[in-house]
Amino acid sequence: MLRLEDVHTYYGNIHAIKGLSLRVDQGEIVTLIGSNGAGKSTTLMTISGIIRPRTGKIFFQEEEITGALTDRIVKLGITQVPEGRMIFPRLTVYENLLMGAYLRKDRKGIKMDEEHAFELFPILKERRKQAGGTLSGGEQQMLAIARALMARPRLLLLDEPSLGLAPIVVENIFEVISQINSGGTTILLVEQNAQMALQVAHKGYVLETGRIIMQGPSRELMENPKIQSAYLGID
Amino acid sequence: MFEQQLINGLTLGMIYALIAVGYTMVYGVIQLINFAHGEIFMLSAFLAVTFITVFGLPIYVVIFMTMGCCALIGVMLDIFAYRPLRQSPRLAALITAIGMSIFLQNLAMIIWGSRPRPFVQEALPAFLRTPALSFGEATVSWLQLTIFGTASLLMIILFLIINKTRVGTAMRALSQNRTGAALMGINVNRVISFTFALGSSMGAVAGIMVAIYYNTLYPTMGYVAGVKAFAAAVLGGIGSVPGAMIGGIILGIAEALGAGYISSLYRDGIAYAVMIAVIIFRPSGILGKSTVEKV
Ligand SMILES: Nc1ncnc2c1ncn2[C@@H]1O[C@H](COP(=O)(O)OP(=O)(O)OP(=O)(O)O)[C@@H](O)[C@H]1O
Ligand SMILES: [Mg+2]
């Protein structure tokens, strides 16, 4: 469904992604794990067209999207829930959701997805008239996910959805991620919380300073001693 | 006399508010003080006079045409002057804005000459200069009433566009988190263009109003009005549209009262004094965002 071939991304002179190739198949949850500064967010921003790769190719459903504008990428079916959530703090919860559906014209479908988002996150329904910035961290993360779902993505990119949240909220978020996936949405999940990510994902990639150093089915990665010591805190 | 100054100030304030919203909206979406906004206001006055004298069009048609032209000029200004600098340090765009302001002023001087000229009064209905209402000694002319009514109507329309439409919501979203907005599929450049178009067309109406109200137009008229409207935007809290409206009205009234009670020589100084006072005592302005945002 999504394929990156030897992608290199730079910030000025900083070579952040150094020849990354990965693939995500329809229906999967694929996780990209790695420590601080490994290049996880840069990878997602490159896929979303916020940053252009210097070389390499990106394909989505066999169509090349390398260097395409973000609105086209969203229209094709890739939506991102960015790191730090990036919700609109002075728009209401409801307006935030509407912005997620910005490129859609089907009013009925939007209405339905609104209901669906409120079912997934009932707290958002209670807060629908409140400004996004007044929500708690966990609620903001829910809003960010709900907002992205309003675009009805085929592929959802999630950047560290567990960042800075209490363990119980993290559980809840990961449950929702599984649920979204069972609904038919393919997911590329970026995480530092490798434990949780590998548990929910089918397949994983390990990123280190801009390069994939390991990949495979989640179960294999979890049993790999190197991963266990470096990412799972097991000696 | 107090009532009369209040009426004059309110009229003036509505005009400042119309210009100020242009500064504040553009600042909201690209954090740029568009110094050339005052020149769009000036060009509007000249274009209107040209449309009337050269094409002999009626004033109400001319207003719409001028709004359209100024919207286009505003959009072009952004596309050619500011857009290439979007990733550059802010100072670069700011200096470009000052440069564009000077450029447009000089362009107007080349085309229309630098001497002030009167507005084509023949194009206006004669009743505009007659009193519409009077309170004791104070009178409100039809012109003042028209300015007040038109400006109010435009502000309401603007308010509805910003708060109730999809593109208006996108404008607000963009000003709160540009990357977040882009990630939702909002075409950021298109929304920025829309913002310039909206602000410039409001400024265009103000330009025509001022030219009629003072019965004069000249290539540097955008500078003084621009500084005052900018002061109004700062007073209301730069980036806040309701703030710009309130700031404009307060500034207009302060200026009229100051001119009436102290000396008309201080008329222009009041805007500067207000701006300096705001910067010292409340940099975020009256309605500026000082809200705590959770990260
Ligand atoms: N805007 C930027 N300008 C310059 N360098 C950047 C920028 N953003 C990221 N980098 C650099 O690129 C590299 C990869 O950063 P990235 O944010 O993709 O890492 P990450 O894996 O998402 O890290 P984290 O887990 O902390 O979110 C880092 O070395 C970082 O310093
Ligand atoms: Mg990151």
Using a CB-CB cut-off of 8 Å, the residues of chain B touching A143 are none
pLDDT for residue A233? 74
Q: Are B155 and A44 in contact (CB under 8 A)?
A: no
Higher per-residue confidence, B281 vs A145: A145
Could you tell me the CA-to-CA distances from A233 to A225, A229, B201 in Å, in that order?
A: 10, 5, 61
User: At residue A19, what are phi and psi to the nearest 5 degrees?
Assistant: 80, 60
| Model-level ipTM above the cut of 0.90 | yes
Helix (H, G, I), strand (E, B) or coil at B262: coil
Q: Is residue B16 part of a domain?
A: yes
DSSP code string of A98-142: HHHTTT---HHHHHHHHHHHHHH-HHHHHTTTSBGGGS-HHHHHH
Q: Is residue A19 part of a domain?
A: yes
Helix (H, G, I), strand (E, B) or coil at B138: strand
Q: Which residue has the tokens 């449309």?
A: B51
CB-defined site of ligand 1, < 6 Å = A 11, 14, 16, 34, 36-42, 83, 192
- Taking the CA of residue B168 and the nearest CA in chain A, the distance in Å comes to 11
Q: State in Å: Cα A42 to ligand 1 middle.
A: 6
Nearest ligand atom owner, CA of A34: 1
Could you tell me the CA-to-CA distances from B270 to B10, B20, B242, B256 in Å, in that order?
A: 15, 16, 21, 10
Q: Is residue A159 part of a domain?
A: no
What value does the mean pLDDT take over residues A52-61?
96
pLDDT for residue B291? 42
Bridge partners for A15 per DSSP: A10
Cα distance between residue B258 and residue B195, in whole Å: 34
In sequence order, which residues have a C-beta less than 8 Å from that of residue A217 and are 6 or more positions away? A202, A203, A204
Q: How many CB atoms lie within 10 A of CB B87?
A: 6
Pocket test for ligand 1, best of A7, A14, A191, A206 (most atoms within 8 A of CB): A14
Q: Is residue B166 part of a domain?
A: yes
- Find the CATH number of the domain harbouring A12: 3.40.50.300
Give chain B's length: 295
Residue A33 structural domain: 1-67+187-235
Residues A35-44 have pLDDT tens digits of 899 999 999 9
Q: Is residue A164 part of a domain?
A: no
- Cα–Cα nearest to B274, from B294, B246, B293: B246
What single-letter amino acid sits at A204?
G
Q: Is residue B229 part of a domain?
A: no
- Ordered per-residue pLDDT tens for chain B, 295 residues: 788 999 999 999 999 999 999 999 999 999 999 999 999 999 999 999 999 999 999 999 999 999 999 999 999 999 999 999 998 998 999 999 999 999 999 999 999 999 999 999 888 888 888 888 888 888 999 999 999 999 999 999 999 999 999 999 999 999 999 999 999 999 999 999 999 999 999 999 999 999 999 999 999 999 989 999 999 999 998 888 899 999 999 999 999 888 888 877 777 888 788 878 888 888 788 877 654 333 3
Query: Mutate which of A42, A44, A70 to disrupt the B interface (most B C-beta within 10 Å)?
Result: A70
Structure tokens given for A134 = 């007044």
Could you tell me the CA-to-CA distances from B153 to B135, B158, B166, B172 in Å, in that order?
A: 24, 9, 20, 21
What value does the mean pLDDT take over residues A92-106?
96
Q: Are A86 and B181 in contact (CB under 8 A)?
A: no
Q: State in Å: Cα A197 to ligand 2 middle.
A: 15
Q: Which residue has the tokens 């799972």?
A: A232
Nearest ligand 1 atom, CA A35 = 25
Q: Does the structure show a pLDDT above 90 at A59?
A: yes
Which residue CA neighbors atom 26 of ligand 1 most closely? A36
Average pLDDT value over all residues in chain A: 94
DSSP code string of chain A: -EEEEEEEEEETTEEEEEEEEEEE-TT-EEEEE--TTSSHHHHHHHHTTSS--SEEEEEETTEE-TT--HHHHHHHTEEEE-TT----TTSBHHHHHHHHTTT---HHHHHHHHHHHHHH-HHHHHTTTSBGGGS-HHHHHHHHHHHHHTT--SEEEEE-TTTT--HHHHHHHHHHHHHHHHTT-EEEEEES-HHHHHHH-SEEEEEETTEEEEEEEHHHHHH-HHHHHHTS---
- The reply to whether residue A74 touches residue B181, judged by beta carbons under 8 angstroms, is no
Q: Is residue A14 part of a domain?
A: yes
Helix (H) or strand (E) holding B131: strand B131-135
Q: Is residue A99 part of a domain?
A: no
Q: What is the domain count for chain A?
A: 1
How close are the terminal C-alpha atoms of chain A, in Å? Answer: 36
Cα distance between residue A189 and residue A204, in whole Å: 9
Using a CB-CB cut-off of 8 Å, the residues of chain B touching A151 are 184-185
What value does the mean pLDDT take over residues A10-26?
95
Q: Is residue B109 part of a domain?
A: yes
- The reply to whether residue B294 touches residue A48, judged by beta carbons under 8 angstroms, is no
- The reply to whether residue B294 touches residue A50, judged by beta carbons under 8 angstroms, is no
Helix (H) or strand (E) holding B140: strand B138-141
- Cα–Cα nearest to B34, from B106, B95, B87: B95
Residue B120 structural domain: 2-222
pLDDT for residue B289? 64
Q: How many CB atoms lie within 10 A of CB A47?
A: 25
User: At residue B283, what are phi and psi to the nearest 5 degrees?
Assistant: -60, -25
pLDDT for residue B1? 76
Query: Touching check for A42 and chain B: CB below 8 Å?
Result: no
Q: What is the domain count for chain B?
A: 1
Q: Is residue B268 part of a domain?
A: no
Cα distance between residue A196 and residue A213, in whole Å: 20
Q: Is residue A224 part of a domain?
A: yes
Q: Is residue B56 part of a domain?
A: yes
Could you tell me the CA-to-CA distances from A176 to A145, A169, B183, B215 in Å, in that order?
A: 9, 11, 21, 66
Q: Does the structure show a pLDDT above 50 at A117?
A: yes
Q: Are B236 and B242 in contact (CB under 8 A)?
A: yes
- Taking the CA of residue B166 and the nearest CA in chain A, the distance in Å comes to 8
pLDDT for residue A4? 96
Structure tokens given for B25 = 């909206």
Per-residue DSSP letter, B61: H
* Beta strands A29-33; A55-60: pairing state: unpaired
- The reply to whether residue A86 touches residue B177, judged by beta carbons under 8 angstroms, is yes
pLDDT for residue B292? 37
What protein residues have CB closer than 5 angstroms to ion ligand 2?
A: A 40-41, 83
Cα distance between residue B251 and residue B274, in whole Å: 8
Q: Is residue B281 part of a domain?
A: no
What value does the mean pLDDT take over residues A182-197?
93
Q: Is residue A192 part of a domain?
A: yes
Which residue CA neighbors atom 24 of ligand 1 most closely? A36
Structure tokens given for B111 = 């085309």
Could you tell me the CA-to-CA distances from A171 to A86, A149, A195 in Å, in that order?
A: 21, 19, 12
